Chains A and B, each alone.
Chain A
Amino acid sequence: MNDRPAKSEVALFVTCLADAIRPSTAFAAARLIEACGFRVHVPDAQTCCGQPAFNSGDTATARALAERFVEAFEPYAYVVAPSGSCMGMLKTHLPHLFADDPAWLERHAALAERCYELSSFLADVADFTPEGRYAGRVTYHHGCSALRELGVRTQPERLITALSGLSYMPLAHPEACCGFGGTFCVKYADISTAIADEKVDDILATGAKTLIGGDLGCLFNIQGRLHRRGADMEVLHLAELLAGSTDTRPAEASGS
């Protein structure tokens, strides 16, 4: 394998939702990582973490993507993704796909220990303290993968509450799933919606005006339901809040 990568080189795993729907999230993530003194790389060979295939039982496709991921990202000192769900897949589930292949397992293990979800990278590795200001009442939704697969519990809140001017209103049920679940949300749309409604009720009950999350999948699900129910709430990825790039949110976007 390559020589030990220079400590400052960070590869950004963009995620498909940020790439196609919400580039602001990925730009914000890149800016934050650079602000911490790292150099950001965006490997061209990246596509998807493979979760849609893995969770649908198509392990052959998931395995092909797993190999591609390891090959494309092992030259870097760190891999960071603005998503607990994609990172949960890349860091914790890939070994299932390499189970019969010690060589790949070893390569993956060496890479996995350098893989981080964005908020944990900022808080635990980069020792980042945000300096910005955000006026308003905000709440935070924990994605299930970040919480339970990666054990990212306190980092997002530590970062959020470091901003000045903001009041933080935690959810009453922070452990509860939002009902997204990847393909689940379209396959069992009515169950998914019922779960999302409980999440939305919990969010509205906090009195917050802004919802922050670390996963675009969950955020799109919740935002979609909030909007359909006519609730007026700003929905931001944690990266956008921290990088102060809230001016490019899609709600104010125009033109193509």
Chain B
Amino acid sequence: MTITYTSDHFKEQAHQALGEPNLQRALDRTTTLLQARRARAYAEFEEFESTRDAASRIKDHVLRHLDHYLERFETAATAAGCKVHWARTADEACAIVVDLCKAARAQTVTRVKSMLGEEIGLPEALDGAGLERVETDLAEHINQLAGDRPSHIVIPALHKTREEVSELFREAHGHGRRIEEVAELVQSARLALREKYFKADVGISGANFLIADTGSVCTVTNEGNAELTMELPRVHIVTAGIEKLVPSMDHAAVLLRVLARSALGMEITQYTTFLTGPRRPGDRDGPEEMHIVLVDAGRTELLADELAPILKCIRCAACINHCPVYGQIGGHAYGGIYQGPMGSVLTPMAASLAKAKDLPHACTLNGRCVDVCPVKIPLTDLIRTLRERIWQQQLTDRPTRWGLGLWGQVVRRPALYRLASRISARALRVWARGKPMIKRLPLDGAWTKSRDFPTPEPGGTFMERYRRGER
């Protein structure tokens, strides 16, 4: 199902987020911690740069030969007993999954967190088809209870404080207690979810990697819910973006080395699972059927685009964790599924540039995201490319266009430019009335709403003073 984007309300949403004390507390706690943990993990990992190079090259290689690896994967997965489905669009993908659930006469489906699932609107589609959807990831369980979307691709309930979660569980889990301890909260969720695992007819997961030569699906998680979701029900459905392919297990291993370190500062996640086909005769567990839905949803088109490097993304969230804008406003303000730098590239492609034109602009271009990205995606370059398109398609707001247009004319003419500098510096000095800092700037008050502005020094601009012989 096509999901609703509210990125066109970015400014209001960001403003609101800035004023939410609980969100602010949650953000402060988490982003600082994640940054410190990542730094520590890499300080202890000597081959970081070379592994990062290798990870980046693997992704580049796969994207260049995607058709080849897709075919290989289909052949291998089919040989292992899987049924591979192809979905061109989000809607097609959802329809395939819903049909599979219906064919399995499913009433209850368990789901383990998958950003691709969120991207294609799978939760909404399952609900719409009248299926009981059980989110088994602790954070997604919280979001399901609260009716929230993920606010972070790795920590989907990052926006919730422990206190808020306690309040949610008190009602939803029917024990009426206000739990303080995290471990107890986890236990409360486990108890509530346990019976569902056994009741479920279908389990739906995503994939972190698709292994082309063996047809395996690799998932990484920390809670163990993925295994219960993928192995207990009769039918297991995987939805995965076509960019998730890697040539072999060895290649996946390289990416695994940087994924958990970048995401949570861990050497490796608690659970790293490779699934190859459904249950075989003699196997003790596993589903009877395993379906893999390979989703395009705009990816092939992106391959031919200047923005193609974003397809290398392994969804580690390092760029998000180090983004100063995300650190202030959290994930929901972006109004889509993905957040922070990677979201500011992906959302305009998914929602439309016109709708999400704020996202590429709501960035200081400080470049920390590029520094921490384990697959070397030039995020700031991609963000600038989007800005260029926004400008070319005349989506920039009119005052900015005119302002920059006028400035552009002046700045191309050095003599005129020097004159304009002289005039503005003088005008500002008059306006400042002898004070060293200006409390309110003329024309545009956005700067001085919260900041003072330094009064120009006396005596004129540098250029005129220098020409007068001053040194």
Contact = CB atoms under 8 A, between A and B. Distances in A.
Interface centre among B384, B444, B457, B458, by most chain A C-beta atoms within 10 angstroms, is B457
Interface stretch (A101-109, A176-184, A205-213): A176-184
Nearest to A21: B456
B192 interface: no
B409 to A, nearest CB: 9
A98 to B, nearest CB: 15
B411 interface: yes
Interface in B415-471: 417, 421, 424-426, 428-430, 434, 436-437, 444, 446-463, 465-466, 470-471
Nearest to A46: B414
A52 B406 CA distance: 12
Interface residues of A, number: 74
Interface centre among A14, A47, A183, A198, by most chain B C-beta atoms within 10 angstroms, is A47
B465 A23 contact: yes
B381 A96 contact: yes
Given A61-B404, A224-B451, A177 B412 contact: no
A30 to B, nearest CB: 7
Contacts of B451: 193, 196, 221, 224-225, 227-228
A256 B426 contact: yes
A46 B428 CA distance: 22
B392 interface: yes
Interface in A136-189: 144-145, 148-149, 175-177, 179-189
Given A23-B459, A189-B450, 6 more contacts: A23-B465, A48-B417, A55-B365, A184-B363, A194-B328, A256-B458
B421 A191 contact: no
B411 A176 contact: no
Interface stretch (A3-11, A118-126, A127-135, A247-255): A247-255
Interface string A14-25: 101011111110
Contacts of A57: 384, 387-392, 396
Contacts of B218: none
Contacts of B363: 181, 184
A46 B461 CA distance: 14
Contact of B425 (A21, A26, A30): A21
A250 B454 contact: yes
Contact of A256 (B325, B329, B381, B430): B430
Contacts of A27: 462, 465-466, 470-471
B45 interface: no
Given A57-B384, A61-B411, A190 B437 contact: no
A186 B447 contact: yes
Given A148-B370, A250-B457, A254-B458, A191 B329 contact: yes
Nearest to A148: B367
